[in-house]
């Protein structure tokens, strides 16, 4: 399994062909495995091997993964690169075969179920609820970590739900049944439910998949608003690299179960990354802002 990409060039060739913002394979490996000493991580995974009962080999092998506190981190990479699997390990939905995940410096396995849900919110790809629930009723389900089984709704619960509905922008949907909503509307409502948990860290697995462009932007703008106004740390799996560049503070580029590179978008996103990770010939420009212009899909060798 690959934990980085090696190119068959000499040191002289590498130096001669590097473009602005591009790092050598050695620099990428060091950056991806040691993180940034100046970054304080809300979530940190070290020496991870993550797999499933049905897989003989680990799906993800990761020496180090940082989710910087107070920032938005996007996990990007081709299908099957291990993005969702890594997010499940970070959220304690999948126990690593090896390694440790720490939340605010504490081993995530030390948290009780409700205790963890008060600190860490997680929205998976598969969400299911009774279709007859109204939007407001579903959002109130996000308050479960803060209440006992027989406890009634408190003023704090009410305020949290109202704040979540406002941030997610679903006020006009409050009284509608979840089953009557479009896919994009449902996704915003599920995000509102997770926001009602009032966690400091939020993990989202492909929240824009199967949504039209309008609702993709609504979801991403909601995430950015939550981060900026509530200082919530976010890690989100995204398929669209251009959207990740626009909305994320940090990029984790994954390939074949390993981390290819990690850092700010302007450092990570290069033409070589598009070739190595996505198999795409593309132009990357950095002025006036970072942009990606795909040219053609490269043939598999």
Q: Where are the alpha helices (DSSP H) in 6-154?
A: 11-17, 25-34, 83-90, 113-119, 135-140
pTM: 0.85
DSSP letters, 130-175, are: -TTSBHHHHHHGGGGGGS-TTPPPPHHHHHHHHHHHHHHT-GGGTT
The three-class DSSP label of residue 295 is strand
**pLDDT of amino acid 183:** 87
Amino acid 15: pLDDT:
39
* Residue 11 to residues 20, 141, 276, Cα–Cα distance (Å): 17, 57, 18
Distance of CA 290 to the CA centre of its chain: 20
Checking if the pLDDT of 82 tops 70, the result is yes
Q: Which pLDDT tens digit goes with each residue over 90-126?
A: 999 999 999 999 999 999 999 999 999 999 999 998 7
Instruction: Tell me the pLDDT of the chain averaged across its residues.
Output: 87
Per-residue pLDDT at 130 exceeds 80: no
Beta strands in the chain (DSSP E): 41-50, 60-68, 72-76, 98-103, 106-107, 120-123, 201-205, 233-237, 250-255, 258-263, 280-285, 291-297
Tell me the domains of the chain and their CATH numbers.
Answer: 11-297 (3.40.50.300)
Please, what is the Cα angle at 54 between 262 and 240, to 5 degrees? Answer: 35
Task: Please name which of 261, 117, 137, 277 lies closest in space to residue 198, comparing C-alpha atoms.
Answer: 117
Beta carbons within 8 Å of 262's beta carbon, 6+ residues apart: 31, 32, 35, 65, 66, 250, 251, 252, 253, 268
Residue 157 is encoded by which pair of tokens?
């619960």
């Amino acid at each position: 399994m690959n934990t980085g990409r090696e190119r068959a060039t000499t040191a002289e060739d590498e130096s001669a062909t590097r473009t602005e913002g591009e790092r050598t394979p050695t620099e990428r490996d060091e950056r991806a495995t040691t993180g940034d000493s100046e970054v304080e991580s809300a979530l940190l995974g070290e020496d991870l091997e993550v797999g499933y009962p049905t897989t003989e080999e680990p799906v993800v092998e990761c020496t180090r993964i940082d989710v910087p506190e107070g920032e938005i981190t996007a996990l990007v990479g081709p299908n099957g690169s291990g993005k969702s699997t890594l997010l499940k390990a970070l959220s304690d939905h999948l126990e690593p075969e090896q390694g440790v995940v720490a939340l605010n410096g504490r081993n995530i396995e030390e948290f009780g179920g409700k205790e963890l849900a008060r600190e860490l919110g997680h929205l998976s790809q598969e969400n299911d609820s009774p279709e007859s629930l109204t939007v407001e009723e579903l959002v109130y389900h996000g308050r479960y970590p803060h209440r006992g089984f027989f406890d009634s709704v408190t003023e704090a619960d009410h305020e949290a739900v109202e704040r979540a509905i406002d941030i997610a922008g679903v006020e006009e949907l409050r009284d509608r049944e979840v089953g009557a909503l479009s896919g994009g509307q449902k996704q915003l409502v599920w995000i509102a439910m997770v926001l009602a948990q009032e966690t400091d860290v939020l993990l989202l697995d492909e929240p824009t998949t199967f949504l039209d462009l309008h609702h993709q932007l609504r979801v991403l703008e909601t995430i950015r608003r939550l981060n900026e106004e509530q200082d919530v740390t976010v890690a989100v799996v995204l398929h669209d690299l251009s959207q990740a560049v626009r909305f994320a503070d940090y990029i984790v580029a994954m390939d074949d179960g390993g981390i290819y590179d990690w850092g700010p978008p302007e450092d990570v996103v290069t033409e070589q990354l598009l070739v190595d990770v996505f198999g795409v010939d593309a132009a990357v420009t950095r002025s006036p802002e970072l942009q990606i212009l795909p040219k053609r899909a490269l043939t598999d060798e």
